[in-house]
Amino acid sequence: MSFLTINQVSHTYFSKDHATSALSDVSLSIEEGEFISFLGPSGCGKTTLLSIIAGLFPPTVGNVLIEGESGHNRSIGYMLQQDYLFPWKTISENITLGLKLLKHESEDSKIKALELLESVGLTGVENQYPRQLSGGMRQRAALARTLAVDPKILLLDEPFSALDYQTKLRLEDLVSITLKSFGKTAVLVTHDIGESIAMSDKIFLFASHPGRIHKTFDVPEELRSLTPFEVRNHHAYNALFQTIWKELENLEDHA
């Protein structure tokens, strides 16, 4: 049984005067520990599908299963473009907030959460406030907060898009290495071909109007064992980049 299964999911947004089809008959499955990407142009339903996986709302048609179960009993972590740290709380208070909300705030869980700060390179900042940290450091804290509740799956909605390029590359490495070390399953939404290749085991390329899977790309095994920065310097990276680029161009030409 696959870890995450999406069965014939379609979704339509209804307004007073219009019905807009955001997703049409999307089916896919991923295994535990895999890192996959949803890649495609704006309006192709990537974030809608991510929200459905998160259980924020049900699909119009179809279902999503995590370890064979549906419903709201999902242990899911969500990272967004913004870090959404509370400015009036310390970094320590921010990363343990999820534990408090879930009533899992034991002394042991708080210690493990603080140890995550070291894992993401933020030793010694637990008593500082978000305003005292750079954008990249705040996203590291957001990653620690997400991992603190030990989610079964992480959903990443363009978490690096607001960062400068150098910080983005560093964060790609950090997130990739951290998730692999914890054996986490992850789904990344991105517009960035390079980012999807550098971080993923598998890439689902979406077409739009309505959103649907156009093509699936398996990232070569020789790249999967490398860090994202190393992937970008490997000869196989350029070949896959060009292949996906041409597919995106074809989609835009026929849009």
Task: Please give the Cα distance from 35 to 23 (Å, whole number).
Answer: 22
Query: What pLDDT was estimated at residue 73?
Result: 54
The residue-averaged pLDDT of 100-126 equals 77
pLDDT-derived band of residue 26, with 50, 70 and 90 as boundaries? very high
pLDDT-derived band of residue 98, with 50, 70 and 90 as boundaries? confident
pTM for the complete prediction?
0.90
CATH number of 1-75+155-167+187-255: 3.40.50.300
Q: List the single range of 73-87, 101-115, 144-158, 232-246 with lowest mean pLDDT.
A: 101-115
Angle subtended at Cα 170 by Cα 140 and Cα 137, rounded to the nearest 5 degrees: 25
pLDDT at 238 over 70: yes
Q: What is the pLDDT of residues 174-208, one digit of tens each?
A: 999 999 988 999 999 999 999 999 999 999 999 98
Q: Are 189 and 38 in contact (CB under 8 A)?
A: yes
| Residue ranges per structural domain of the chain | 1-75+155-167+187-255
pLDDT-derived band of residue 105, with 50, 70 and 90 as boundaries? low
